Amino acid sequence: MAKRKRLAPPIAPYQDPGPAAGTPAKRTAPIADVAADAATSAALSELSQTLQSARDQGRMILSLPLDAVQSDYLLRDRRVVDDDEMDALIASISARGQQTPIEVVALEDGRYGLISGWRRLQALRRLQGPDGSGPQTVLALLRVPEQASDAYVAMVEENEIRVGISFYERARIVRMSAMNGVFDSEKQALREMFGAASRSKRSKIGSFVRLHAELDRVLKFPEAIGERLGLALVQRFDKDPQAAAQLRTDLREAQAVREIDTVEAEQAFLQAALTGKRSAAKSSPKASTEPVQLRPGLHLKEHRDGSVTISGTAVGADLRARLVAWVRDGR
């Protein structure tokens, strides 16, 4: 009976002694090396193009130095930030890091213009310590708007979703963007930036555009004007062509005597002007203030019409001459 041939056990890779000493190692054919190099180069080129395309299309999150982002690149649609909201955002970023990237556009010299994310950028900057501690970079998506109006639309769309913008702030960005030539007209600015809003909402913003045009330079707290009050004021302007000019005059006079230094005071003033109570109060005589002693023998009395009276035993020819010279010379 023939003996069975015994099979040698398989050799594990680590047991393989390799080629015998003096035996030349097998080389891959040169054509195969060239093909492998070409395939690697093509793959790297394709990857590079893909990454560049993602970057250009705003699909890649970049890490940018905080001081490389220009926050005033666009006119902002929000001028007032609630302190409690900002404190909450700072606490969230401090605890969990920046969760949502800002949006920027590339400028010259390695700088970037902010499109949206102003509050996040400010929160990160406030977290920076004077000694250089804290965050030094901001996560950002690079956008490539075809024209300036596209950047404004992007800013407005994000803020409409993320934060409560007042009607006055919406109207301000509509009017200012048109004045700066971003849009051809206020109507186009309103239509482009708030195209997703209802027709009713756009109509209200349009009314506040009129309010901004009439009162922006004389109001201290315009963002606090609510929808009902703002629309009522515009209706008053439409009915009485002189109402806006009179209200501007009244506001300046009240501010001169520090009558409206708070949000509440300005709101009450506008309500009174709307109901006509302000006009009635102006027409009624007002008492003068109590005399104030400037020094012994010299008193000053201020009247509500703006005039003043100086009296007392110290008033003489010399004082009158000095007062006349002071007024005449403007010193």
pTM: 0.58
Q: Give me the percent of the chain exceeding a pLDDT of 90.
A: 31
Query: Could you tell me the two tokens for 190?
Result: 């309103």
The torsion of the CA quartet 203, 204, 205, 211, rounded to 10 degrees, works out to 120
Q: What is the pLDDT of residues 71-114, one digit of tens each?
A: 888 877 666 677 888 888 899 999 989 988 999 988 888 899 99
- pLDDT of residue 278 exceeding 60, the answer is no
Contacts of 81 (CB under 8 A, 6+ apart): 119, 122
Residue 320 DSSP symbol: H
Q: What is the pLDDT of residues 207-240, one digit of tens each?
A: 999 999 999 989 999 989 999 999 999 999 999 9
Pairwise pLDDT comparison (270 vs 157), residue with the higher score:
270
Exposed (0-12), middle (13-18) or buried (19+): which is 292, by Cβ within 10 Å? exposed
Q: What is the mean pLDDT of residues 189-196?
A: 90
Of 29-33, 64-68, 238-242, minimum mean pLDDT range: 29-33
For residue 301, CA distances in Å to 57, 306, 328 come to: 70, 10, 22
pLDDT score recorded for residue 208: 95
Q: What is the mean pLDDT of residues 255-266?
A: 86
Domain 48-147, classified CATH 3.90.1530.10, yes or no: yes
Query: Could you tell me the two tokens for 307?
Result: 């005039």
Handedness of CA 282, 287, 288, 290 (dihedral sign): negative
